[in-house]
Amino acid sequence: MTTQIVRAGCILLWLTTLPALAQVIINSPTTNWTPILPASTNQADYYDDEQTGRPESDIVGNALHPAVYFQFWNGGTPSPTDGTLAFRVRVGSDRPQVNQFNSVLFIGVDGDGNGSLDIFLGADNSGSSSHIKIWDAGTGLNISPNTTTVNSPPGQIVYSQNATNFHFGPVSLTLDPPATDFDLDDDGHNDWFVSFSLPFADVVAEMSRLAGISIVETSPLRFVVATSTQQNSLNEDLNGIPKNYNGSLTWDQLGGMSHYVTVIPEPATAALLALGALLWVGRLRQRR
Ligand SMILES: [Ca+2]
Ligand SMILES: [Ca+2]
Ligand SMILES: [Ca+2]
Ligand SMILES: [Ca+2]
């Protein structure tokens, strides 16, 4: 019986760590990534609703083609605060500059589930920048478009982009094997994926330093995803929110806040039930 329990435990461990066993390959197919969907029934995301008319800042997605994905590698260690976290967002085009991403992609993180964005992760390709950064939320409430601001904190964590942590590439069957449409917004230009990764330890550290919130890899997080022409505001497209919206409504009310996501799922309920059943059978046998 002890052997059975150990075996079941090993299988359980394998099942729960399976999605995190491989290092993040930034240009890997979407089948290696997990979609992040808004908690609302809004489309994620509407077409041609970016405020500036720059097509590469138009986040696009529909029921069959998610707009936002994440991928996590646990670093191959038991530590719940290391590894690599990556995000991928689908945009409508590579224009105006062909083959280049020249905007800022923000992933706003609600680390404590209270509806406010606490820090921002993202790719800053505005101007001459090509960096991955972690920003602080401003001193406002950060619960709605009107109350949310983005600050570059003292000692800001900034990484140079390279082929390992950043990728901008056209949606293809290689990058998105289940795709049945490569131009969701019908603007005559292939959609593109913006992907970036960063060390999870830095996300954990900055969430603590800047927002006073402790997180680990099993913490439930929520996200608001946005594009911008600049790194201190969300001034282009808001994922899951149409072009015309009331900026004083909360991210939750507007439908822009995602479902809760844990970068590593808690042990699957089904696997725990199976383990429980195994223990129960073992006890019945001992009674005989
Ligand atoms: Ca859009
Ligand atoms: Ca397009
Ligand atoms: Ca919060
Ligand atoms: Ca939108």
| Rounded Cα gap, residues 236 and 45, in angstroms | 13
pLDDT tens readout for residues 92-101: 999 999 999 9
Please state whether the predicted TM-score (pTM) of the whole model is above 0.75: yes
- The residue assigned the tokens 């997990």 is 34
pLDDT of residue 274: 53
pLDDT band at 33 (very low <50, low <70, confident <90, very high): very high
pLDDT value, residue 163: 98
DSSP conformational letter for 217: T
Residue 282 has pLDDT above 90, yes or no: no
Look over the chain and give the mean of its residue pLDDT values, rounded to a whole number: 90
Which ligand has an atom closest to residue 241 CA? 4
Distance from the CA of 65 to the center of ligand 4, in angstroms?
A: 15
Q: What is the pLDDT of residue 116?
A: 98
Model confidence at 15: pLDDT above 50: no
For range 213-240, the mean pLDDT:
97
Question: Mean per-residue pLDDT for 183-191?
Answer: 98
Residues around ligand 3, an ion, CB closer than 5 A: 110, 112, 114, 116, 118
Q: How far is the CA of 259 from the centre of ligand 3 (A)?
A: 14
Cα–Cα distance for residue pair 259/62, rounded to 1 Å: 16
Is 94 in contact with 189 (CB distance < 8 Å)? yes
User: Do the Cβ atoms of 70 and 32 come closer than 8 Å?
Assistant: no
Q: What residues have their beta carbon closer than 5 A to ion ligand 4?
A: 45-46, 49, 237-238, 241
Q: Which pLDDT belongs to residue 266?
A: 64
Across 230-254, average pLDDT? 97
Indicate whether 268 pLDDT > 50. Answer: yes
Q: Is the pLDDT of residue 3 over 90?
A: no
Between 280 and 214, where is the model more confident? 214
Contact by Cβ (8 Å): 217, 83: yes
Contact predicate 91/59, CB 8 Å: yes
What are the tens digits of pLDDT across the range 135-159?
999 999 999 999 999 999 999 999 9
Identify residue 98 by its one-letter amino acid code.
V
